[in-house]
Structures are given as C-alpha cells and as structure tokens.
Homo-oligomer: A and B are copies of this chain.
C-alpha cells in the first residue's frame, strides 16, 4: 500500500464536499434504481445498442456534460470539464448485453433483489455514472482533470471492443485520454488490472449433405463438429495463468430428414497469458483438423468430403496496468477506506484496449452485489447501504484519479 494514496483518499472522503456528494447519492438512490430498471428493459444486444444509447443520452441531459454526443461508432459521451489545463480521464460503462433480441427483459423484484438479463453487466453502471455526476454537481465538486463520461458500445462478445477501439483509435479525444476507468458489474472488490486476451472462432463444418435414409453412410458434418466440441471439452488448461474455453453458440442443418450441408459453432478461447492463449489456439485448430479428418475416414466421401471453414471473429488484445501505478493504488485505497478487501484480477473488459496501448486503465465495480452474469438468471441487489458504500468507494476513486480542485 502507498501511504500517499491512502492519505489522498482520506483527504477526499473526509471533505465536506465528498460527504455532500454521498448525501446526494443516498437521497437519490431510488432514482438510481429506477434508472437501472428503465435501462435494463431496453434491449441492447451488441450492434443493436441504439435504443438504449438514445435513452441514456436523454437521461444524461442536465448532468452538466458539455458536448453530449454520439460518435460514429455509437458511443454516447460528454465531457465534465475540469478547472482547465488538466489531463483527461475517461470513465465508461458499456451499453450492450450478451442477450439476443426477443429475450424477456422485464425486471423481476424479490425484496431488494432485482432479476433481469444484463441488469448487472453492465446496466447498473450506466445509472451509477449519472448518479455520480449529480452527486458531484450537487456538492459543487470540480476536478483538475476533464472527465470524459462514456456509455460505450460493443464490449460484449461479437462487439469485440469496437466502441473502445473507436474511442482510442479514431475518436475526437483519442490523443488526450491519459487514464481510463471502466465501471463494469456490481462487484467492488475485484479491481481488474490485467486484460484477458481472447480469440474467437466461428467454425462452419461443411459436407455434401443428402437424404438421411437414402444417403445414409455419407459423411455428416455434425459428427465432425461434435467430435471437435467433445475434444475441446477434454483439453487441460492451467488454472494459473487462468485459461478458458467455451463452445458457446451453434446452428445449422437443412431438415430433420437430411444429412446437413453445413453446421457451425462459435468458440471462445481466453487467457491471462498471451503464451497460454496461443497454445490453446494451436490446440483448438489441431482438434478441428483432426475431427474433420476423422469424419472423412469414418464414413463415405463418395459425394464429397467434410471441410471446415475457420473464421476468426474476435481477437482482443491482452494488456495490464502495473499494480504499483498510482491509479491502482488510489482505487485500492478507496476500497479499503470503505471496508472492502480489494483483489487484483484479470478479465476481458473495455480496459483491454487502453491497457494494450500503454494507457493506465482499470475496471472497478458499480456497487452492491450481483451474480449469474450472462445467464437468464442474472441478478443484482440494490439494498441501499451496501449499494451506497460501493458507489461512494467508486466516486472516491474517480475523484482521486481526476484530482479534486481546491
């Protein structure tokens, strides 16, 4: 721990202004919950974030943001000006969810527990960004840095971090951002300092197809695909550095009485370690080749062979922020000061992009608790005390990183 970071956080949270800001967070907690519910119920699959983006932009009006705008990629953002001549710190939450169109997004309540797909990852954070802005405004807090507040697109799966790529590679602030904080999911204790890299593939297994009865005995791409999935399921990966795989989405086939022409599966490979990720990728590609060859050996190829079209559909860079960096120390001190026991974690988040560019970046939480992210049973708890404690710690982090002007 850095004494300097601890002292800076102590100075901020003991200030009357910060206490006033926290009082506003408390007074407006119901409004924050209403915002979470409203935003959660607007579908926002990756690449279809437009409705939710427009709703958030409407909500963000009157929050003291200059130049509230939507960039060419779909990110909504606005600048909370600092006192001038300071750096630019970006704080972001992502608009998109993993859930396809048509999923029931109605928020169910069970006491202080709210259940709905995407509610914690990352919709709660979108509302928390606005709560922080109102709290700072109500308390008259000015920062040394300009704060760029972003509701971004394309964080999840197929989005492949497109919102962040645009922001850091083409956006109007691309050269000015000197620090980045993404607020992603409720858990406060896991500070993400390492960006998990990923490689994603859509593999289409093709064959001649034919009548399920009349052409029985011909190669069937379903067996090649099943073999590849089964073999991947048996791969041993290290627990540290954490390395994972998933056969996630599948489809294909002509009709129940046809040997299919084509079937496909999407695969997700990840690791904290670029070397382990490369090793897993090579293993996976060899499994696909072997499964194709095995099916061509197992059944007749007289009307054609099985082949695999291997399309890389995602490639997220790994990266990290040194745990000794001031930004990390400040976040850690803010959490400790609020009674949390922070740990440093690896994950794939919007922070991967700035990390990979050498820009200090971390992920923090939106407060309260939650679980079952990416499942239909996703939930958060909005019990006020736990929620406000997390939101206070997050706000203290932001203020410490941006610097409070005297």
Contact = CB atoms under 8 A, between A and B. Distances in A.
Interface in A196-236: 196, 198, 200, 208-216, 220, 222-223, 225-230, 233
Contact of A222 (B196, B250, B260, B374): B250
A303 interface: yes
A156 interface: yes
Given A208-B375, A210-B374, A230-B226, A249 B244 contact: no
A373 B213 CA distance: 11
Number of copies: 2
Nearest to A185: B214
Contacts of A208: 375, 377
A249 B259 contact: no
A223 B225 CA distance: 11
Interface in A283-304: 298, 303
Contacts of A259: 246, 248, 374
A374 B215 contact: yes
Contacts of A298: 233
B252 A250 contact: yes
Nearest to A251: B251
Given A213-B270, A233-B298, A270-B212, A374 B220 contact: no
Nearest to A260: B248
Interface string A250-282: 111111111111010111101000000000000
A372 interface: yes
A171 interface: no
Interface in A150-182: 156-158
B256 A374 contact: no
Contacts of A233: 220, 222-223, 226-227, 298
Among A157, A196, A257, find the residue whose CB has the most chain B CB atoms closer than 10 A.
Answer: A257
A248 B256 contact: yes
A366 to B, nearest CB: 16
Contacts of A270: 212-213
Interface string A233-245: 1000000001011
A205 to B, nearest CB: 11
5 contacts: A100-B255, A198-B257, A213-B348, A222-B246, A225-B229
Interface of A: 46, 98-100, 156-158, 196, 198, 200, 208-216, 220, 222-223, 225-230, 233, 242, 244-261, 263, 265-268, 270, 298, 303, 313-314, 347-348, 372-377
